[in-house]
Amino acid sequence: MIQLYMPLNFLGVVYRELKQSTADIDRMFGLLNEQQEINDSPNASTLVIDDPNRGPSITFDKVCFSYDKQRPILKDISFTIPAGTTTAVVGRSGAGKSTLSRLLFRFYDVSSGRILVDGQDVRQVTQASLRQAIGIVPQDTVLFNDTVGYNIRYGRPEATDADMKAAAKAAQLDAFIESLPQGYETPVGERGLKLSGGEKQRLAIARTLLKNPAILVFDEATSALDSRTERALQTELWKLARNRSTLIIAHRLSTIVHADQILVIDHGELIEHGTHESLLASGGTYAQMWQMQLSEPDHVEIN
Ligand code: ATP
């Protein structure tokens, strides 16, 4: 009986690890109930990143995409994120911003065109190696009913305690965790301690720091955090983005003023791109969006 139980128990652990390693990504993309039809090509190779300490260049080359044939979502999108730089995508709700990152992860294949990571078409590399190279900080981080330490460590389950604590420190979560009576052993999740939106995103940053991916995707939360938490998160985010190729899906323009490049997507088309300054100077859609956000009442939560 014990002999039978042990492998089953082991399989349970393995299954849990596998499931959890994709949970944030699934949650981010709302894919929990969707059938995935993407398979590795028979001669898929492992993604090679020329300089892992800088991040790869990422190119969308004439990308068209639709979830169903009747309704084109992305129309002939071309841009490059140069190695080690940060690109932000803005546009109204439903414009197709998150779809760009779903295609980069290869949750779907492009209808036409191609996506290259350091010159390699994402359809020609293994999904495992592609996803290993990408870390995400989602809007809403999945917390497992386990300890804070476990939740951070799932970025890299084999990480040592010291590495895990260093990541928590870099994400400015260490003082908070150490103030808890059970420290890193504190249960969190539905049946444990509830974390605030800012604490959850910092936990996601700590996880991603542990994973140390060459590509970072940051999906900014739609709801504003209080302005002090927001500023602290910004600082950590920019530190995390250093030496990586970063895609920020932005909802607040103030977040992305310093991005190397800003893309404005409207109805699936890339209508403007440039830096914050150049886009303001050209007086187009981005400049109008900026003016609108300036005049909006500040949705700041009071803590
Ligand atoms: P938001 O700022 O609100 O997050 P977005 O710009 O990220 O929006 P996407 O999530 O990329 O927008 O969605 C673009 C369009 O594709 C939307 O009209 C959406 O309804 C549609 N869409 C998204 N996912 C699917 C899906 N799985 N099946 C069919 N249509 C979808």
pLDDT, tens digit only, all 303 positions of the chain? 444 444 444 444 444 444 444 556 555 555 544 545 789 999 999 999 999 999 999 999 999 999 998 899 999 999 999 999 999 999 998 999 999 999 999 999 999 999 999 999 999 999 999 999 999 888 888 889 999 999 999 889 999 999 999 999 988 899 999 999 999 999 998 888 888 888 888 899 999 989 999 999 998 876 666 777 777 778 888 888 989 999 999 988 888 999 999 999 999 999 999 999 999 999 999 999 999 888 875 543 322
What values do phi and psi take at 100, rounded to 5? Answer: -55, -45
If phi over 0 gives left and psi between -120 and 50 gives alpha, with beta otherwise, what is residue 243?
Answer: left
- Ligand 1 pocket, mutate which of 27, 69, 99 (most atoms under 8 A from CB): 99
Asked if 20 and 211 count as a contact pair (C-beta separation under 8 A), the reply is: no
Asked if 82 and 241 count as a contact pair (C-beta separation under 8 A), the reply is: no
Query: 54, 49, 44: which is closest to 243 by C-alpha?
Result: 54
Q: Is 93 in the pocket of ligand 1 (CB under 6 A)?
A: yes
User: How far, in Å, from the CA of 177 to the mean position of ligand 1?
Assistant: 36
User: How far, in Å, from the CA of 13 to the mean position of ligand 1?
Assistant: 34
Complex confidence, ipTM: 0.97
Q: Is 73 in the pocket of ligand 1 (CB under 6 A)?
A: yes
Residue in this structure with the two tokens 């020329």, named with its chain if needed: 50
